[in-house]
Chain A
Amino acid sequence: MATTSITLDETPARALLLARADDALVLGHRLSEWTGRAPLLEEELALANIALDLIGQARALYQATELDEDALAYRRDAHQFRNALIVELPNGDFAVTIARLFLVSVASDLYWRAAVADPLLGPIAAKAEKETAYHVRHAAEWLVRLGDGTAESHRRAQDALDLLWPYTGELFEPVRSGPDPAALRPDWEEAVSAMIARATLRRPADGWMQSGGRAGRHTEHLGRMLAEMQVLPRTYPDARW
């Protein structure tokens, strides 16, 4: 049967780039799903801006693999994606979107700061770090207002943290090259705990952690997301715009 999927030779350097790129692309796509549905115009633009930052980061990382960036985004199947599971989960309500953006952005911000000195990631990290620092700020301010807001916003923010917490462990799994994510965990823990406390929320207990995204074992949600994201280039492989 004919396929529009690509196969790729995954060197250690490419594995490193793809993990970071896929995190950015998938989260960027999820955020773009708010366009036209955000709770207010100002927030719609804020989420779209963040999505564009992330897709820009993904592009730079894909280009660094020296493979075709469009093929990487549009012609890989779910099992070829190397993103952490937390970024592919559906947006849920606004609290889930914000809590996820917060938890992931704090980790990304620490990662990019550590990666500035990395020979492969350095130039990308220097630009990404400034963008991600703003993502942290935006998500953190909202988390505080949701947590310390009404009874309903508090409940939804707490539910969001409880839902997402088992997916945070994967963000710090050791990798073969680049900065060691595990070394970033104490700083992440400190920053996240402080903001959760400021938001009058409860830090969920650490328990069993979800895993598998970096090895291509994804939730059912990624396949559906890719089906929508990839349908046009897969249906019309030579389409131009």
Chain B
Amino acid sequence: MTASPAPEAPIPLWEVFLRARNGLAHKHVGSVHAVDATLALQAARDVYTRRGEGLSIWVVPSAAIVASDPADKETLFEPTGSKIYRHPTFYEVPDDVGHM
């Protein structure tokens, strides 16, 4: 009987962000598995830019992202629902201002 090999470490996950054009922000498009940052960039290029989608790629270790807890949804986001004065459409623009 041969000894079975040690289980392989799971391959880390990376979040992929693409910037489609100059002047736009990088936008999250998905994730890739890769053993390190260099291969993560290559994998992101190979998986997410096959149809000319990007001019720039960011990859970020998924583990480095700090996310809000879905259970906190009401605490975090509901209070803004009643603050309609935070929307520009709340305000009437004086006639003298003309088009903004």
The interface of chain A, by Cβ under 8 A from chain B, is 40-43, 45-46, 49, 137-138, 141-142, 145, 152
CB pair A42 B34 closer than 8 Å: yes
Q: Identify B46's interface contact among A49, A142, A145, A152, CB under 8 A.
A: A49
Task: Indicate whether A45 sits within 8 Å of B47 (C-beta atoms), given known contacts A138-B42, A141-B39, A141-B42.
Answer: yes
A interface footprint on B32-63 (CB within 8 Å = 1, 0 otherwise): 11111011001100110010000000000000
Chain A minimum-CB-distance residue to B34: A42
A43 to B47, CA, bound (A): 9
Name the prevailing secondary structure of the A interface residues: helix
Closest Cβ of chain B: how far from A229's Cβ, in Å? 23
Closest Cβ of chain B: how far from A55's Cβ, in Å? 15
Q: Tell me the chain B residues, 3-45 only, with Cβ under 8 Å from chain A.
A: 5, 11, 32-36, 38-39, 42-43
Task: Indicate whether A145 sits within 8 Å of B39 (C-beta atoms), given known contacts A40-B11, A42-B32, A42-B34.
Answer: yes
Q: List chain B residues, Cβ under 8 A from A141.
A: 38-39, 42
A49 to B43, CA, bound (A): 11
A45 to B49, CA, bound (A): 11
Closest Cβ of chain A: how far from B40's Cβ, in Å? 9
Chain B minimum-CB-distance residue to A39: B11
Q: Which 10 A-B pairs have the closest CB atoms?
A: A42-B43, A46-B46, A45-B46, A42-B32, A45-B47, A49-B46, A42-B47, A141-B38, A138-B42, A40-B33
Closest Cβ of chain A: how far from B52's Cβ, in Å? 13
Closest Cβ of chain B: how far from A137's Cβ, in Å? 7
Chain B minimum-CB-distance residue to A50: B46
Interface size on B, residues (CB 8 A): 14
Q: Identify B43's interface contact among A46, A137, A152, CB under 8 A.
A: A46
Chain B minimum-CB-distance residue to A137: B42
Closest Cβ of chain A: how far from B37's Cβ, in Å? 11
Chain B minimum-CB-distance residue to A49: B46
Closest Cβ of chain B: how far from A50's Cβ, in Å? 9
A46 to B42, CA, bound (A): 8
Q: List chain B residues, Cβ under 8 A from A40.
A: 11, 33
A141 to B42, CA, bound (A): 10
Q: List chain B residues, Cβ under 8 A from A137.
A: 42
A-B contact pairs, 28 of them (CB 8 A): A40-B11, A40-B33, A41-B33, A41-B47, A42-B32, A42-B33, A42-B34, A42-B43, A42-B46, A42-B47, A43-B43, A45-B43, A45-B46, A45-B47, A45-B50, A46-B42, A46-B46, A49-B46, A49-B50, A137-B42, A138-B42, A141-B38, A141-B42, A142-B39, A145-B35, A145-B36, A145-B39, A152-B5
Q: Assuming A41-B47, A42-B43, A137-B42, what are 18 further A-B pairs, CB within 8 angstroms?
A: A40-B11, A40-B33, A42-B32, A42-B34, A42-B47, A43-B43, A45-B43, A45-B46, A45-B50, A46-B42, A49-B46, A49-B50, A138-B42, A141-B38, A145-B35, A145-B36, A145-B39, A152-B5
